[in-house]
Each structure stands twice: as structure tokens, then as C-alpha cells.
Structure 1
Amino acid sequence: MIEQEKFFKTADNTELFYRYRPAKNGSKDKAIVLFHRGHEHSGRMMFVADELGFDDFAYFAWDARGHGNSPGERGDSPSFGTSVSDIQAFMQHIEQEYQIAPENICVIAQSVGAVLVATWLHDYAPKIRCAVLTSPAFKVKLYVPFARTGLALWSKLRGNFFVNSYVKAHYLTHNKARQNSFNQDPLITRAISARILLGLYEAAERVVADAQAITTPIQLFISGADWVVHHKPQHDFYNHLGSHIKERYVMDGFYHDTLGEENNHLVFAPIRRFICARFDEPFQMVDCKQAHIAGASRIESDELATPLSPYSPRGLFWAGYRTLMKLGARWSEGLRIGKETGYDSGSTLDYVYQNQPQGANTFGRFIDKNYLNAIGWRGIRQRKANIAKAINLAIEKLRTVGKPVHVLDIASGHGRYVLDALTAQNHPDSVRLRDYSPINVKAGRQLIAERGLQDIATFNEINAFDPENYQDLSPPPTLGIVSGLHELFADNDLIMHSLNGFGKAIEQGGYLIYTGQPWHPQLELIARCLTSHKDGRPNWVMRRRSQQEMDQLVEQAGFQKVHQWIDEDGIFTVSLAIKIK
């Protein structure tokens, strides 16, 4: 079949280039999607279609931002997370444009492309059939001592800059033809930006550590004589995987370009077998809905809930940390609010949203600024921005099909993240905000009054977990919102009370916006030092839910995810789902 050159639009409306080769036998229901390594482009991946020899698969291969025929400064992207989001946009484009369902797609990726795909699998939990990852660049061999530290420091001092690759073609593959084509290819990008290289390291460390959240069938190839990347993180990734079906091959003597090596038939033979085996059996998903009873996240939360000996080094460290936070609460407004109302309260979140350091004096404001700039609070503010995007998209979809927009948020805090999202152009027909806390309800009603929204907005004190509170709602909600609530409770059975309430209240074709927290780098700090509004003790222990677990709970209530957003650090997700049954 004739290879076609096309473009698709990303979330920020950038048009990226991709190659498309229809299935030789005319089939239109299955696809293999290829992702190139750093410095390269789609033209150097399409040979995989010839090597595999499958006539019943369509083939797609993109040029990542800053590579090949795609726009952007060579070797750069706004962020590593942006490139991961681009994968999601690409896969959605394939599904919508070619009517190929995700469960009929296999992904094959090399090096940096493999890390992008692994991060996408972790953060977005796509329902693809399987993935083949070759020499994923979880840790690049920089050779220069303290190179990563130096890159980070220099980028803070002077902003983004570029590093040229030291790797010559003869260190990538033994195949002479492949070496020559690399050296003569005008689309090869020798440079990579510092922010992408540093983002690659950060995302890789997170995904390798939390690979149990990935349950997609995975086939991993590790090149035994790789000059470019370290082996250990690849093995750690494989060992941590939550996939029930996984295979690992260490290719002795192979250089980094695993698929383009001299004896690549040793790689493609098991790839063919693996793909055929996955597509010969019915599509299966690992059921994660019982993770609150048994699983990695349950073990993690149980360990965080275990008291430390007050005389152990860790016990002494966290006791000292708690003492400093209590002392800081005398001067820092944020710490004071957290101490008095709980660090997970609506009052705390509203203060974090406003992001205006306050304190009793200059020292207090300095403490408060650092407190508000914590990685978790930065993610919370990005979650607020992403909720606004989800609200706007949901309203647009409802208006397009002629449905009214009646919003119901069941645990609103002060409601700022909902009210700030409303503009003159996207006003809903009604907004019902709810919360169990009288403090939050009072503050929320004040925000409604300040914005002059009394004609469409109400705020009532109601328990989100009582199924009876979702009955006989008039008018029936067409857009439900639950933000930050489910992350506070480990029990999935409890979560289903609110989700089933939504499921019954929202008619078919309505939407649900829900949040998740698949990852957090400060879980022990939170568990050992931060008080919860639920009981006022320093035991805010969170059980992280993988995105797949959260999506499956929502599906059980009758919804199907149609879009998702996530912050750059991979901490907080915002998803939009449609009611399908």
C-alpha cells in the first residue's frame, strides 16, 4: 500500500506530522503505532512494517515535536509532559479518524519514544492491546560526572539550552546500511533540549518506581551492549510491572538501535509471536477495582499508617519536622489554616488556589511562599486549571447536541474551582454546589454572591456519600463534578456510593468530571506531618489509585472516559466521562 503523509492536531492545536500505511489486505480494524527514538523521526521506523510482514494491520508513525517534519525547535518540546499528551492526542486521532478502537492497537517504541509510551501507559491508562518497548531510555549514560546536576543547575541559571548527542552511528548499530542512512539523513536531530532531557529523567524515575500501575501486556527488549542507556532501570521497570502478561529479552551484543541491529531477526521473531498471541485471544483488562483490599497501593498506605518508633532516626526526623511546622504556623497563614482546619480541607485548598503568600511578618511570608510552592500545591493549582478545561469542553459538548447544562458538584470545598471556570460565554443553566462542611458552605455562598451568580447558583450542606441525596433532583444534572473527594478515602466501596448516585442522577449522554491522584512524591511527609480535616490527627494517609483503577470505578457506574488532563509532575489527573448506560 502507498504510504501517506498526514498531520493531526494536539491538545494545544499544534499540527504534528505522521505517516500512515493502510493494511495490505484492506483490513481497517487493527493497527500498529510506531514511536521513534530521540533524534530520529517516523521515516526511520516504517521499516518495522516490512520486517513484521503483517498484511492485516495498518501502520502509523509520528514525528514528535521538534523532530522530522513536525514543527518546533529541533530536539525540543514545551515539556516532556506535553509530548506524552501528544501521544494521547495521536491515539485519539487514530480512533476518531480511522475508527480503530484502542483495544485493537499495538504500540512499538524505541528509546526515548519507549519512555514516552511507558509514561503514557502509566498516566493515561489507555486500553490498548499490547506494547513492545525496546531499549527504553530510563537512564541515559551521560558519562560526565555530575552531568545531570550540572544540567539542572545551568538550566535554572540561564533557562533552556541544548545538548548535542555524543553518540555516533557506529555505536547505535552494527548494520552498515543503517549507519550510513543515519549519517546521511537530513532530518536527524543531533540536539536535545535540557528541559526535555531533565524531564525524561524525572518521568522515567517516577514510572519505573510505580510500574505496578501499568497492566498492559508488555514485551521488553534490552540491548546487551548498549552505549546509550543503563540496563538496571529497564530491569527494575520490568520487575515492577503490574502486567499479567510480560516478556523480557536481553539481546547479547546488541547496540542501542535494537530494531535496526544487524541480526534484528532475533528481535522480530518474538515480536511477531507476541503480537499474534495477543490478537488471537479476547481483549482482557486487569481488574483493579479491588486494589483497596489487596495490592501495591494498599501495602504502601498500610506502611505509611504504621507508627514509627519515636527513638528511631525516621521517628526523630518526622517529629522534628512536625515541630517546625507547628512553629511555622505562628507566622505563616497557610500553615495556620492547615493546622486549624486540616491540610486536606476546603479552606486549605481555597487558600492554595489563591496563591498569595501571607504571614504575620516578612519571615512568615517567606515561609508561606515556600509552602505554597510545594510540588503538591503546584499540582493542585494545575488541577484547578484542568478542571476549568474539562468544564468548558463538557459545556461545549452538551450545547452542541442541544442539551441543557445543569451542573452538580458534590464536594465543592469553597467552590472556587467551579465558579472561576464560568465565563460569560459558557454560563450553565444552573449550578448546584454541595459540601458536608458548614464552613465551606458559608464561604461558597459568599463567593457566589461576590460574583453575582445567585440567579443560577446554589450551595447546600449535603453528604456526598448518601445515595438518597441524588434522588429526584430537579432539574436532573447533565454535568456532574467530583474533585479531590475520592482521593481522601481508601475504600472503593465507599467511593461507589457517590459514583452510583451520579450514575442514577445523570441521564444518558450527560457528563462526569472526576479527578485522580495516581502518584505523589510526598506521601510520607503528608502521612507523618499533615493533619486531616476528617479527624484532626497527623495521619492523613492517602492510598493512591492508579488511573486504571479510577477509570474502572467510573465505568462501573455507567460512564466512559472521553478525555483526560494531567499536570507536568504526573500527580493529579482530571478526566471527562460520558454517561453511556
Structure 2
Amino acid sequence: MYKNSTHTFISHDQTELFYQHWQSSSATENKKAILLFHRGHEHSDRVAHLVDELNLPEFDFFAWDARGHGESPGERGDAPSFSACVKDIQYFVKHIEAQYGIQEQDIAVIGQSVGAVLSATWVHDYAPKIRALCLASPAFDIKLYVPFAEPGLRVLSQLKGNFFIQSYVKSNMLTHDTERAKSYDTDPKIARAISVRMLLGLYDASARIVDDAQNIFVPTQVLCSGSDFVVHQKPQVEFYQKLPHPQKEFHILDGFFHDTLGELNREIALEKIRRFITQCFAQQYQAPDVLNADKIGTSCAIAEQLSSALPKKSFKNAFWELTKKNLKIGSIFSEGLKIGEKTGYDSGSTLDFVYRNQTESQNPIGKIIDRQYLNAIGWKGIRVRKQNIEFLLQKYADILAQKRKPIRILDIASGHGRYILDAVSQLKKQPDSILLRDYSAINVQAGQEMIAERGLADIAQFVQADAFDTASLASIKPKPTLAVVSGLYELFSDNDLLRQSLTGLSIAVAKDGYLIYTGQIWHPQQEFIARALTSHREGDAWVMRLRSQAEMDALVEEAGFQKVDQCIDEFGIFTVSVAQKR
């Protein structure tokens, strides 16, 4: 029924990862595929039995060995980060699309334990248009049994760096199937240890994904093992309850141990998966309806709540008023806080300070405050966003050069323009032109000075202009081939405003040109920012409405672009995506 073969694909950091392909002999006009993601410690051979047992002969099957597992390279049980493994999935899927001609809409994903968390994180962060997501015993919260084990590991990792811990899990805690338990004990490719870096990354990603599961817009089935000694059930339930898609299921499998899909009576679980996937494919793919998320839905409601004044005599109001006063006092000493209080914490001047990442205060107290301020998770994410913008700008400028097309760069809200000019300095081929625009005269002047300092005045210009003026954008000549919108759309809740900008860009950008755009899909300090920090817009509170990646991609697609690439920081806050003009 299936022809099995082994292959490798090149991931985002040029690492070759191993995978298996089971090609169906039941040829159909539209190819369909199921991707299998194994448990932690294991590898693709441990899920190979599912290919026949699921009895879905019209599907091709793919299963990888995650880096640090099985035949894939890397120290056993380790990876550069949990987010690197999530990005590996993105490259795996893109490889399958390119190599086998199978589209995202014709793919279903089955993940187990750690593989389930990786899968859920990928669907949340990258918003793929897959048909179904089946999660078996997702490891959102591992039972470590030792009191305060997780905070203790965090402290030790700060002191010692990365190190490894051995799994306490025995085979008889995983399954009642004695043959499968025996094979687990004797399998030389099982990675018995896991790095603390990966374990803590798993915890952080799990907390974020469970908290923000309302932004997973894919039909999802969760299978929960009723007698699981390895992971907790509560976050699985919480995750399921937040899922917004009407086609979702939650099943508790009584008596099942953690290896849900390798249990003695696994046909009970497999029948549910088989039915769910079959029914998801029985209807045409439908993209999530998220274009009006600014007017109705969870993100709208949260932003509305954060915009509302607190009762004056409440404890929360007193707390945030004290916080704002402390920031004002701190600004007396700290250059970073002074810039934020004066120009807004979302201003171009603030971002330039964050990009410079230096303690610029002249006194010791200010230097301490500056460093704490710059080390805030949001600002760390901003600096990673800058790196990702520079990486993607260089990547697609190189692609344009290889195609012998002009490199005409446009940034419609440049701030001081530092990130663009830094990226340009690394390009293999000098751009034909650089047009930077910003609404702020202060930013324009600073940017013009930076252009002059770098000797780019012959190809670069910086003008004052409105990023939401459709006609102004549409009239840009010559047509840019590489446009950038960074950190702008995140500041405005109104999707109609974004449509004005994207419509202008769609007209402006040359055919087959690229648009690099950023998003903010989650933030752990959303309330702090709304209650304590001021915006550049006349000192108003900085209330952010977080857009899911699915919403941001849908707006860009509506304007006539097609997403082709994406990066995200390891904290899961800021995305940088690339779309091509259709």
C-alpha cells in the first residue's frame, strides 16, 4: 500500500534534518498528506506503525526526526532553542510543498506529547492553512514531581548555562503494550536525556500557547490520556476551551497512559483521529474569518477593556498610578525613560534608543535603570525583530539580484531608519534606490543625517509622508520592488486604516515585488504597557490590540499579496513576514 523512503531537508540554519516518506499507492488528483510528530526522546520509527494502523490510504505520510533525535544531527535531546524546532516545522512543510506538490490546505498534522506542543506552537505562530490538527497528550505541563523543580532549573540554568537531565519516565509508565514498552527499553536511538534549554523552552511555549489558544484557527482534536503519569490534564482542558474553531473535539481516554498512540487499545484513539481527519477533508478548506477582528472578538474585547478607566478608588488603579509616577521619577535619572516620557514609548526616538542598546545615562542610577529597561522582554523582542528584518531584507534583495531585477527599497514608516540602513550596509549588491518615509519631522531629520553620515545620499532619500495615505503611496515612482512596514501596524487597532495603507502599497509595489511586514501576535506585558506607558500620539495611553498572525496575513492577502516567508523571536512576540505581489 505504501512505498517507504528516507530523505533529508535543509532547515532555516542550513541543518539537514532526517525524515521518512510513505507514498500512497492510491493515486488521487489532489495529493493529501498527514504529518506525524513524535514524542520527546523518540524518533520517526516510533510513529511508523500509525501509517498502516490509521487506515487512510488516500494520504501520503511524512514523519521527521526532530533535531537531536534519531537520525537527525545535534546533541541528543538538545536544540538551539524550542523556537528553532518550531521553525524547523515551517521549513519541513515548505519543503513538502515544493518537493511533492502538496499544498498546506491538503495537510493534516498529528503530534504527540512534545511533538503536539511543537505542532500547536507552529500553528499559532505561523498561521498555516492546514486542514486539521490532532494533538495526543500534549505536554503543556510535565509532572516533574520534585517540589519547585521548574524554578530551580531556571536558577541553575542561569548559573551553569545549558545542561542535561535524565528522564524519570519508564516504559511501563508510557503504555500497557508490553511489546512496545520492551522496544522502548531496547531502542538505541531513544534520547534518554533532555537539555534544560529545551525543557524550559517547552514550558515557556506551552504557557504562551495555552494562554493564547484563541488565536489558533484550525479544526483541532485533543486526545487526553486518562491515566497519564507524565503530563497534567488541566492545561489541555484550558487549551481546548479557548480554541475558537467550531470544529473542535476533546476526548478523555480512560485508562490510557501517556503514549496515547502507542497504547494497547490505541485503536480507540486512532478511530477518533481517522474520523476527524476524514470529516475535515470532506469539505472544502475555509480560511478563518478574521478580517473584522478589530470590531468583534477576543483581541477587540481585551483592547477595549484595557482602554477603559479603572475605578479611582480601586487597588489596581492605585497600583498603576504609582507605577506611572515611578516611571516619571526614573526619567529624571534615566535617558531611556526620559525619551519614552517625552516622545512616547512607541516613538521612533524610543525605538532608536532600544536598537542602540546602550546605557546612555550619565549617572550610575540612570545606567542601572537604562539596563533594566533595555532588558525588558518586549525590547529584547524588538531587537530580534530588527535582526529578522535585516535578514529577510538581505535574503530577498539577493533573490531580486539573482533574478536580475532592480532593488528599489521603500520603508513607509522608518522611524530614524537605522534598521533599514544597517541592513543595506550588509547587502551584496547596492540597491538602485532607497526611499524612507515617516510622518514625524523629528524622525525625518534624524534619518536624513544618518543617510549623510553613511554616504548614501546619492541613492537614498528621506521624506515626510503619511503611511496611511493611499494616494500618496500609490503614486510612488519608480515602483519599489522591496517594501517594508515595520512596527507600524501594531500601533493601530483599526483594520480599515491598515487597508488604506496596504491598498496603496499594493498599487505601488512592482509585480512580483516583495513586502516585508511585522506583526505582534502576543505580549506578556500588554496590561503594563496599556496602564503605564504613553504613546507618541499626544501622550495617550499606549493600548495595543494584538493581531493574530492569521489576521495579519489575511489583511495582506486581501490587498493582493501572498505570504512566502516568516521569522519570529524565541519569546513568541514579534513576527516578520514576507509576501509577494501577486
Both structures adopt the same fold (TM-score exceeding 0.5):
yes
1:429 maps onto 2:435 in alignment: no
Q: In the alignment, residue 132 of structure 2 is paired with which amino acid?
A: C
The correspondence for 2:271, drawn from 262, 269, 272, is 269
Name the count of aligned residue pairs: 579
Within 5 Å, which residues of 2 pair with 1:60-459? Answer: 60-422=62-424, 423=426, 425-459=428-462
Query: Displacement of 1:402 after TM fit?
Result: 2.1
For 2:299 and 2:475, how far apart are their aligned partners in 1? 37
Residues 63-90 of structure 1, C-alpha deviation per residue, up to 9 Å, x if partnerless? 0111001111110011001111111011
Distance 1:474 1:528 in 2: 42
Cα offsets for 1:440-476 (capped at 9, x unmatched): 0000001101110011100000011111102332211
CA distance in 2, matches of 1:163, 1:317: 41
Distance 1:427 1:371 in 2: 36
What is aligned with 2:570? 568
Give CA deviations for 1:140-197 in whole Å, capped at 9, x if unaligned: 0000000001100011011111111111101100001111111111100110110111
2:397–2:427: 8 Å Cα contact kept in structure 1? no
Give 1:424 deviation, angstroms: 5.1
* Cα shift at 1:280: 1.4
When structure 1 is superposed on structure 2, of 52-61 and 213-222 the one drifting more is 52-61
Offset, 1:43: 0.5
Provide, for residues 483-506 of structure 1, a one-character-per-residue CA deviation record: whole Å limited to 9, x for no partner. Answer: 011000000001100000001111
Tell me if 1:20 matches 2:21: yes
2:395 aligns to what SS in structure 1?
helix
Q: Look up the match of 2:559.
A: 557
Say whether residues 1:483 and 2:486 are aligned partners. Answer: yes
C-alpha offsets along residues 404-434 of structure 1, whole Å, 9 cap, x if unaligned? Answer: 1111110000000100001251321100000
Counterpart amino acid of residue 440 in structure 2: S
Rounded to whole Å, the distance in 2 between the matches of 1:311 and 1:285 is 45
For 1:524 and 1:358, how far apart are their aligned partners in 2? Answer: 27
TM-score, scaled to structure 1:
0.99
Q: Does 1:546 align with 2:548?
A: yes
Partner of 2:497: 494
* 3-state SS in 2 of match to 1:44: helix
CA distance in 1, matches of 2:459, 2:278: 56
Match of 2:534 in 1: 531
Cα distance per residue 1:527-549 (max 9 Å; x no partner): 11111001213x11000000000
User: 1 CA distance for matches of 2:48 and 2:241?
Assistant: 30
Tell me the residue number matched to 2:39: 37
CA–CA distance in structure 2, aligned partners of residues 460 and 179 of structure 1: 67
User: Between the two proteins, what is the percent identity of the paired residues?
Assistant: 55
Are 1:484 and 1:516, in contact at CA under 8 Å, matched by a contact in 2? yes
Amino acid corresponding to residue 94 of structure 2 in structure 1: Q
Q: Is the 8 A contact 1:244 1:286 kept in 2?
A: no
SS where residue 332 of structure 2 aligns? coil
CA distance in 2, matches of 1:282, 1:472: 39
Cα distance in 2, alignment partners of residues 471 and 387 from structure 1: 23
- AA paired with 2:515? L
Distance in 2 of aligned mates of 1:147 and 1:473: 58
Could you say what secondary structure the match of 2:26 adopts? coil
Offset at 1:25?
Answer: 1.7
Residues of 1 paired with 2:434 and 2:244: CA distance? 40
One-letter amino acid of the structure 2 residue matched with residue 78 of structure 1: P
Q: Does residue 1:8 correspond to 2:32, yes or no?
A: no
Pairwise CA distance, 1:573? 0.3
For 1:2, what is the secondary structure of its paired residue? strand
Structure 1, 411-420 or 263-272: larger mean CA deviation? 263-272
Q: Is the 8 A contact 1:465 1:494 kept in 2?
A: yes
Q: Which runs of 5+ in 2 are unaligned?
A: none
The residue aligned with 1:520 is: 523
Query: Normalising by the residue count of structure 2, what TM-score does the alignment of the two structures yield?
Result: 0.98
Question: Aligned partners of 1:308 and 1:281: how far apart in 2?
Answer: 47
Counterpart code for 2:79: S
State the distance in 1 between where 2:474 and 2:150 align: 56
Q: Deviations over 1:186-242 (max 9, x none)?
A: 100110110111111111000001000001010110000000000000000000012
1:299 Cα shift? 0.7
Between the aligned partners of 1:424 and 1:496, the Cα distance in structure 2 is 31
Displacement of 1:137: 0.2
Confirm or deny that 1:505 pairs with 2:514.
no
Distance 2:486 2:557 in 1: 17
Deviations 1:229-265 (A, max 9, x none): 0000000000001222101110000000000111111
**Aligned CA-pair RMSD:** 0.9
Q: For 1:415 and 1:292, how far apart are their aligned partners in 2?
A: 29
Q: 1: distance between equivalents of 2:473 and 2:365? A: 47
Distance in 1 separating the partners of 2:57 and 2:223? 24
Runs of 5+ consecutive residues of structure 1 not aligned to the other structure: none
Q: Distance in 2 between matches of 1:166 and 1:26?
A: 44
Question: Is 218-227 or 395-404 further displaced after alignment?
Answer: 395-404
**What is residue 468 of structure 1 aligned with on the other side?**
471
Q: Which amino acid aligns with 1:492?
A: N
Give me the whole-angstrom Cα distance separating, in 2, the residues matched to 1:115 and 1:474.
46
Q: Is the 8 A contact 2:398 2:428 kept in 1?
A: no
